[in-house]
Amino acid sequence: MASSNTDFLLSVENLTVSFDGFKAVNDLSFYVDEHEIRVIIGPNGAGKTTVLDLICGRTKATEGSIKFRNREMTTLREHEIVKSGIGRKFQTPSIYSDLTVFENLEISFPRGRSVWGALAFKRDEEVINKVNEVAQMIFLSDQLDRQAELLSHGQKQWLEIGMLLMQDPELLMLDEPVAGMSVGERQQTAELLKRIIKDRSVIVIEHDMQFVAQIADKVTVLHQGKIIAEGSAEKVKNDPKVIEVYLGH
Amino acid sequence: MFPLFSRAGKASLFPKKDVYSYLILAAILLVVLPLSMDIFRLNLIGKYLTFAFVALGLVLCWGYGGILSLGQGVFFGLGGYAMAMFLKLEASNPENTKIQSTPGIPDFMDWNQITELPFFWQPFHSFTFTIIAILLLPTIFGYIVGVAMFKRRVGGVYFAIITQALSAILTILIIGQQGYTGGVNGITDLRTLHGWDIRTDFAKYVFYFVCVAGLFACLFISQFIRKSKLGRLLVAMRDKEDRVRFSGYDVSNFKIFIFCVAAVFASIGGALFTLQVGFMSPTLVGIVPSIEMVIFCAVGGRLSIIGAVYGTLVVNAAKTSFSESFPELWLFAMGGLFIAVVMAFPNGLAGVYQTYVEPKIDAFLAKKKLKIQPDKSSGTDTEKSLNGGIAHGQ
């Protein structure tokens, strides 16, 4: 399928994926600008997570194209997609529980990613400073020597966000970053997200409409693998179709 | 279980505790055992130590990387057979074999009506080639298996089964191709290395110390890998492979690498086995020895580099004494031991040591320190209690 070059940071065009005939994502097209905060909402099973999976290469698209800075992503392997500047946080906190917080963050530092590079990797000032800086942002400065397994659920979510910050991606994809958090943690996370999204583009999947309205430039509503509405949070909230399938209940 | 790094301090390759463990092991292997044992027993220990190479590789591959290989016998065999082929060729000079219908070829070939040395035996006339083959053959073979499996994301149980199948295939191949491999008897009657008789007591002493030196070289390589970022990546991959992948790493390359390292270790062990025991046979290649090696590693503690050595020694010593009295019961005992270790002591001897013995030693040392330097000890105490807390938390 022919796809055009654009000024957008990310352009997803006619994206389809089918699992044994079931189209989890169906002919989807959307565009994300530089420094845009895009929120994807929709009922369960709408294909939200699948869209992120497709962009980061975890799932291979059946049809369509995903271009990041006009470079086709669908043919690249996962680590190559990461290297071109896309970072992704998983829905359940995905951290290395046997390693310390410091080591967790260190692994995401974008250096020494080959076998020999990893063997020769030195923990120098640059790495230590970066880890300290990120730890400060994610409220884990005093936990650096702690084993990650012992962190609370909320802290684990922050740690994974911190690992992405180490990576410093141009496009950050977050899958329900505040799910399962206490009210206090939620508030802190909102602050954290507002700070980290300043100089990059972000795609967020979220259910909390209040949270969405706070951060979103644009909201995309998915339903059964298709976009049913797109626009500002205000506009989407008042869309009758959206109310029917998603917000109504 | 995993060392803590302080934020500011850089990770050192040999923390104090590790230095002591290495020194103690060196003292046992280089001083205590050679002085307290006759050459027959010491040679037996040397034989056990060749299995420790394999167990050590498994600590890296299985313990750290989470890749369970039930086919390490294949690599042990590659190294062992390479060495045996060289020694056999030297033992089969025309003079020694003049009663054969074709003098100058290994005796078993003659018995199998082979009249010419097969092409793949030719290069094993050279000792240099043999040494290179011992290091390179397992790397190449491990690389091929690794690429075929890990690039396709075959892992876990499936990988274990495939490696097990490989060791079965190699055994069948060796037994079936009797004329080229010596068949089920293996390659026996090895005599000299560059004209130097390897069957004397003196040679056995030399090989024992060569074996210990080789083992320490492999221990240090393992320590280096464990302390490098690659070591931490392996632990990370074992836990959350996807997270590592989506942090920009090609996970399969790391798996291939560590599998090849384990393969080379096993191969060196195999070569040293041939030198010390004086033969190589398919009984050391097949499924049973391959699984036994996993048990050595599990008993020692699959996350402990040094534990691999102790685990191998303990299980083998038990095997030797037990199988002398109850030969038919040994396999059951071995299976029972494996189940017991996995259920009760998942971190093996090293885990038992870390949980029960080490805190007491630490407490003892801390007390001593307190007496000597009353003002400096407070910092270390907090650190120790933090350490202890985490160890218990696991």
Q: Which of B229, B249, B394 sits opposite A79 (nearest CB)?
A: B249
* CA neighbor of B319 nearest in space, from B340, B308, B334: B334
Residue with the two structure tokens 């190699």? B170
Q: What is the pLDDT of residue A4?
A: 65
Q: For position B373, what pLDDT does the model report?
A: 61
The residue ranking higher by pLDDT, B311 or A199, is B311
In the prediction, which pLDDT does B310 show? 95
Tell me the two tokens of residue B127: 């000792």
Q: B230 to chain A: which residues are within 8 Å by CB?
A: 115, 118-119, 121
| Cβ contact B163:B62 at 8 Å | no
Q: Which of B6, B229, B253 sits opposite A112 (nearest CB)?
A: B229
Burial, B333: exposed, middle or buried (Cβ in 10 Å; 0-12, 13-18, 19+)? middle
Helices (H) and strands (E) in chain A, counts: 10, 10
Lowest mean pLDDT among A13-22, A79-88, B190-199, B320-329: B320-329
* Chain A interface includes B20 (CB < 8 A): no
Q: pLDDT value at position B394?
A: 33
Report d(CA B376, CA A222) in Å as an integer.
Answer: 62
Q: Is residue B20 predicted with pLDDT exceeding 60?
A: yes
* pLDDT, greater one: B175 or A45: B175
Tens of pLDDT, residues A139-159: 999 999 999 999 999 899 999
**Can you give the pLDDT at residue A3?**
56
State residue A86 phi and psi, 5-degree precision: -110, 125
CA–CA separation, B181 vs B88, rounded Å? 11
Q: Among the listed ranges A196-205, B141-150, B169-178, B186-195, which one has the minimum average pLDDT value? A: A196-205
Q: What is the pLDDT of residue B216?
A: 97
Q: How many CA atoms lie within 13 A of B119 on its CB side?
A: 0
Q: Which DSSP symbol is given to B62?
A: I
At B388, is the pLDDT very low, low, confident or very high (cuts 50, 70, 90)?
Answer: very low
Mean pLDDT, residues B239-249 taken together: 94
Identify any residues that bridge with A223 across adjacent strands, giving them in sequence order: A226
Contact A98 B239 (CB under 8 A): yes
How many Cβ atoms are within 10 Å of A21's Cβ, its own excluded? Answer: 5
- Reported as a pLDDT band with limits 50, 70 and 90, residue B184 is very high
ipTM above 0.85, yes or no: yes
- From A104's Cα to the closest Cα of chain B, the distance in A is 8
Interface test with B, best of A94, A124, A143 (most B CBs within 10 A): A94
In this prediction, residue B364 has a pLDDT band, given cuts at 50, 70 and 90, of confident
Mean pLDDT over B208-220 rounds to 97
Residue A204 is predicted with a pLDDT of 92
pLDDT band, residue A243 (cuts 50/70/90)? confident
Our measurement of the distance from residue A210's CA atom to the centroid of its chain's CA atoms, rounded to an integer in Å, reads: 19
Residue range B210-233: average pLDDT? 96
What's the whole-number average pLDDT of chain B? 88
CA distance A244 to chain B (A): 36
Residue A49 near residue A25, CB atoms below 8 Å: no
Question: Is the model's pLDDT at A2 over the cut of 80?
Answer: no
Nearest Cα residue in chain B from A116 = B230
Q: How many CB pairs under 8 A join A and B?
A: 111
pLDDT band at B3 (very low <50, low <70, confident <90, very high): very low
On the question of pLDDT at B254 being above 70, the answer is yes
Q: Which residue has the tokens 């002919």?
A: A27
Q: Rounded CA gap, B336 and A31, in Å?
A: 60
The percentage of residues in chain A with a pLDDT greater than 90, rounded to a whole number, is 60
Q: Do B1 and A98 touch (CB under 8 A)?
A: yes
**Alpha-carbon distance A51 to nearest alpha carbon in chain B (angstroms):** 15
Percent of chain B with pLDDT over 90: 71
Chain A residue with minimum CA distance to B13 = A122
Contact across the interface for B240 and A87, Cβ inside 8 Å? no
pTM of the prediction?
A: 0.90
A181 versus B146: the higher-pLDDT residue is B146
Write out the two tokens for A224. Answer: 């059964």
For residue B6, the distance in angstroms to the closest alpha carbon of chain A comes to 6
Residues whose CB falls within 8 Å of the CB of residue A132, separated by 6 or more in sequence, listed in order: A141, A144, B7
Query: Which residues does chain B have within 8 Å of residue A114's beta carbon, measured at their own beta carbons?
Result: 250, 253
pLDDT at B387 over 50: no
- Chain A CB contacts of B244 below 8 Å: 107
Q: How confident is the model at residue B8 (pLDDT cuts 50, 70, 90)?
A: very low
Judged against a pLDDT cut of 80, whether residue B175 lies above it is answered with yes
The whole-number pLDDT of residue B372 equals: 66
The three-state DSSP-derived secondary structure of B260-324 is HHHHHHHHHHHHHHHHHHCCECHHHCCHHHHHHHHHHHHHHCCCCHHHHHHHHHHHHHHHHHHHH
Condensed to tens digits (0 to 9), the pLDDT of residues A22-74 reads: 889 999 999 999 888 999 998 888 889 999 999 999 999 999 999 999 899 99
The answer, yes or no, to whether residue A112 has pLDDT greater than 70, is yes
> Given a cut of 90, is residue B68 above it in pLDDT?
yes
**Region B160-168 average pLDDT:** 96
Average pLDDT, chain A: 89
CB contacts under 8 A, B 252-291 vs A, are 253-254, 257
Interface membership of B383 toward A (CB under 8 Å) = no
- What is the pLDDT at residue B392? 38
How large is the average pLDDT for residues B305-320?
Answer: 93
Report the C-alpha gap between A1 and A5 in whole angstroms: 13
The pLDDT of residue B52: 97
Alpha-carbon gap: B136 to the closest alpha carbon of chain A (Å): 18
Higher pLDDT residue, A87 or B15?
Answer: A87
CA B169, B172, B176, B181 torsion-angle sign: positive
Please name the residue ranges forming H helices in chain A: 48-56, 78-83, 101-107, 115-120, 125-137, 153-167, 183-196, 209-215, 233-237, 240-242
pLDDT band, residue A186 (cuts 50/70/90):
confident
At position A119, the amino acid (one-letter code) is L
Query: Which of A76-85, A182-191, A202-211, B95-104 has the largest mean confidence?
Result: A76-85
Nearest C-alpha in B relative to A82 = B248
Average pLDDT for B321-339: 84
The torsion angle over the Cα atoms of residues B206, B209, B211 and B215, rounded to 10 degrees, is: -160
pLDDT at residue A248 in the model: 66
Per-residue pLDDT, B11: 59
